[in-house]
Structures are given as structure tokens and as C-alpha cells.
Structure 1
Amino acid sequence: MGELRKPFLLLALLAIALVVGVELGASLLTGGGDASGALRASAGDLGVDVGEVGRISEPSGRGTGHLALIDVVALWTTGLFCLSLVLPDRIQGRMQGVATLAFSVLLILAALVLLVTAFVELTVMVSLFLAPPFGTLAYLALWGFFPVGEASLLLGLVLLLKLVWAGLLLAAQPRFLQNKGLVLLALTTLLCTVLLEFLHRLAPVVVTSILDDVGAVVFAVVALVWAVVLLIGSIPAIVKAVRVTAALPTR
């Protein structure tokens, strides 16, 4: 592969690790604002008197957190590149297949659980929203006032870090562009980030939570696809490692 610029590769690992960390912490970084005033206004538009309303918090959403299901694949791939800096090729070749198999199985399980959770929540959201006036009011109280501005800032940071990650990988080794799987993975995660921002801006804020959950479902499905790709890709490496081990002389 030619000379590998190790500092850039390590910085790329740091950048994608920050991406995953920010996405996993999205529920703590967004939402939580007081939406009670907006609920009273929306209830007035529906002709319903809700009386005194306590503090109602804005939802944090699931979309940004579910992006981590895809970006953890990028983190894993970059980590394997970095692992080659400290392990001999012979040892890495034996470990990589088994480790990737275990990782892909865990990712499949996590993606399935989060896919079901997001889909069930999406079904509840739509059912409540389409059941005026009291079902709609219940929806508004729980999900009706999505923090679009905060989520946009967070996604902007995530997108910037992903671009930095991709740029650092190219700086570390321009021939990474010949790795079709890596290029496709980078395009996938960048497009999913842009898609989520588009969904957040697509419709009025009262339905943004629904669209955010649509994004979460899509990202879980995409992560499942990548997990299956990793699973299939790990099999030849495992078979090769078994053959090499079997061919070793025994005492």
C-alpha cells in the first residue's frame, strides 16, 4: 500500500471516535427545553383548553443517536487500520476475521433492537398524531416541539468531523481511495448525516419528531446491511487463518 503516514491515521481514528461519542451523547446534548408555552398555543389552535400545563420538555430524538450504528462501522474499520501499526501482519490476519465476525454479530443484534424500538415509537407517534384532538394533544405533549436548532448545530459538528476523518485518511494514504468498501462507507455516513438534516427541515416542527424517527429506522436498516457485509467479509479471513494454522508444523 506504500508509505503510511501514521500521525494522520491516528488523528483520523480520533476524529471518527469523536463522531461516535457526539452521536451517542446526542440525547444529553439536545432536547430538554421547556415546550409548555408552545403546547398551550397549539392546543388553542385545535380549540381545546388544556388549562394549566406543567413544564413539558422538548424531545431529544433518535435520529442522531442511530447514526452511531453506521459510524461505529467506520470507527471499527479505522481501528483495524491503526491496529496494523502495532501488530505483525501474520497475527493481525488471524485476529481480524474472528474479531470482525464478533463485531458484526453484536452490531446486527444492536441494530435489530434499535430498529424495532424506533419503528414501534414511530407507529405510536403517527397513531396519536392522526387522532385529534386528544390523541394529537398527547403527541404534542410528548414529541411535538423538536429542538431543530440544537439538532442542526450537532449535525453540523458531526458532518465537519466526518469530513475531517475522510480528509485525514486520504492524507495518511491516498491509495485508500482504491478501497471501494471504505469509499462507499464514507459516502454512506456523509449522505445519512445530510439526510437527517434534510428530514429535520422538511416539514413544520410539530411533525419533525416523526421524520426524525423515520431517519432512525432508515439508519438502523443501513447499519444492518453494513453488519451483514462485514459478517460475510470476515468468513474468508477466518477460513484463511484456519488453513494457515492447520498447515503449521506440529511438535
Structure 2
Amino acid sequence: MGELRKPFLLLALLAVALVVALELGAALLTGGGDAGGALRDSAGQLGVDVGDVGGVTEPAGRGTGALALIDVVALWTTGLFCLSLVLPDRVQGRIQGVATLIFSVLLLLGSVVLLVVAFVELTVMVSLFLAAPFGTLAYLAVWGFFPVGDAAVLLGLILLLKLVWAGLLILAQPRFLQNKGLVLLMLTTLLCTVVLEFLHRLVPTILVSITDDLGAVLFAVVAIVWGLILLIGSIPAIVKAVRATATTSQP
């Protein structure tokens, strides 16, 4: 299969790092636009006069940011591959298990927190929207005008970078395709990105905030699953490292 091609591996790390950075910065890159006119139009369709409204802005949403919980696993995995370039296998084997254990615990905690927050927010959204007319207007004022176009551009860029990341990993070492866990991670992150775009296009604009939050709940659950996989997978590595340390310490 050939040796590991280091430049491609380092470029893959850069690509997935950009993905995580874009997802974490999604709240700054989307949303914030004026939605006062859209609120008046929607209120008029409901037969309610809201007068002159101002300061109503488009929400950034949680879905794209929640993708970072999954893609940080891809960043971590790629980082471990790159770590092998600078550390001897013996040293890396001893620290990888403990480091992955700590990372998985932090990932699980962050995912659980986001899951609770997104679920509570989703419940509030649905409750307000169904409480017509004034609850619906309250929903519209806060979440009713999702920036679907801006989010689509951002998700398109993120999807492209993920494809570049996957392609660069394969170019770096074709044997990565034999790693079932890595292939499953690639498919998971690509599928989740497509699912979020689908959720944004599934319903009218005024309901996209609800489906976006639904996506955040889904991605938090997926991240919890990956956190558990990493947690369980780190245990054999830790046991092996402990045994190796005990063996070398014997006189």
C-alpha cells in the first residue's frame, strides 16, 4: 500500500480543523439580519396587527454548531494520526489511551448539556408556535425567520471541506479505508451535514428554526454514541499501557 504521505495527512488535519472552526463560528456567520418586515407579513397573514416592529433579527440556530460535536471526533482522530509523525509508537501508545479517555468524557459532558438545552428550546418553540395567535407571534418574533440561504452556503462549504478531508486521508494512506471505525466516522459526519440541509429545506421558513433545533438534538445523540465508542475503545489501550509500564519497571 505504500508509506504514509505526510503532506496529505497534514492537509487533512487542516481541512477538518477548518470544518470545526466554521461550525463553532456559525452563530457569528449566519443570523442577525433584520426580520421586522417578515414579522409584519406573517402577522398580517394571521390577521394580527403588530404595528411598527424593530430590533427583530434572524436567529443563527443550533444545528450547524451541534455538528461540531461530531466533527471534533474527526479532528481528534486525524490529530492522533498526525501525532504518530512526531512521537515514537511506544510513547504514543502510552498516552493515547488516557488522552482519548479524557477527550471522550469531555465530549459526553458537552453533548449531554447541548442535548438538554436544545430539547428544552425545541419544546418551548413548539409550545409557542401552537399557542395561536399571540404565542405564535412570540415564536415568530424570536425564531420565525431563519437565514436558510446563509446557512445553505455555510453547510455547502463545510460539506466540501469534509469531502476534501476524507479524500486527503485516503491519499495519505489508502489503508485507512480498512479502518471500519474511520470509514463509519466519515459516513456519519457527511450524512449529518446532508440531513441538516434537508431539515432546513423540509418545511416553510417560519418553521426552520424548529427543524434546525431538532437536528441539534439528533447530532447531540450521535455525538454521545461516538463518545461512548471512544470511551470503551480507550480502555484496552490504557490496560495495555499499564501492563507495558509494569513490565518495563520490573528489575
Q: Give the TM-score category using the shorter length.
A: over 0.9
Q: In the alignment, residue 94 of structure 1 is paired with which amino acid?
A: R
CA distance in 1, matches of 2:228, 2:249: 35
Q: In the alignment, residue 42 of structure 2 is paired with which amino acid?
A: S
CA distance in 2, matches of 1:187, 1:250: 45
- Identity value in percent: 80
Q: Deviations over 1:78-107 (max 9, x none)?
A: 000000000000000000000000000000
Does residue 27 (structure 1) correspond to residue 27 (structure 2)? The answer is yes
Match of 1:14 in 2: 14
Match of 1:46 in 2: 46
Q: In the alignment, residue 183 of structure 1 is paired with which amino acid?
A: V
Match of 1:59 in 2: 59
Match of 1:210 in 2: 210
Shift of 1:70: 0.1
Q: In the alignment, residue 146 of structure 2 is paired with which amino acid?
A: F
**Aligned with 1:248: secondary structure?**
helix
Q: How does 1:1-251 map to 2 (within 5 A)?
A: 2-250=2-250
Q: Deviations over 1:211-244 (max 9, x none)?
A: 0000000000000000000000000000000001
Shift of 1:2: 4.4
CA distance in 2, matches of 1:61, 1:235: 36
Shift of 1:52: 1.3
CA distance in 2, matches of 1:153, 1:52: 31
Shift of 1:248: 1.1
CA distance in 2, matches of 1:48, 1:38: 13
Shift of 1:185: 0.1
What RMSD in Å do the two structures reach over aligned CA positions?
0.8
The two structures have a TM-score, normalised by structure 2, of 0.99
CA distance in 1, matches of 2:149, 2:95: 44
Shift of 1:51: 1.0
CA distance in 1, matches of 2:242, 2:249: 13
Q: Deviations over 1:126-180 (max 9, x none)?
A: 0000000000000000000000000000000000000000000000000100000
Shift of 1:250: 4.2
Q: In the alignment, residue 230 of structure 2 is paired with which amino acid?
A: L
CA distance in 2, matches of 1:175, 1:35: 50
CA distance in 2, matches of 1:2, 1:222: 34
Shift of 1:249: 3.6
CA distance in 2, matches of 1:215, 1:53: 30
CA distance in 2, matches of 1:24, 1:11: 20
Shift of 1:55: 2.2
Q: In the alignment, residue 92 of structure 2 is paired with which amino acid?
A: Q
CA distance in 1, matches of 2:204, 2:151: 15
Name the count of aligned residue pairs: 251
CA distance in 1, matches of 2:62, 2:141: 17
**Which ranges of structure 2 fall in alignment gaps of 5 or more residues?**
none
**Which ranges of structure 1 fall in alignment gaps of 5 or more residues?**
none
The two structures have a TM-score, normalised by structure 1, of 0.99
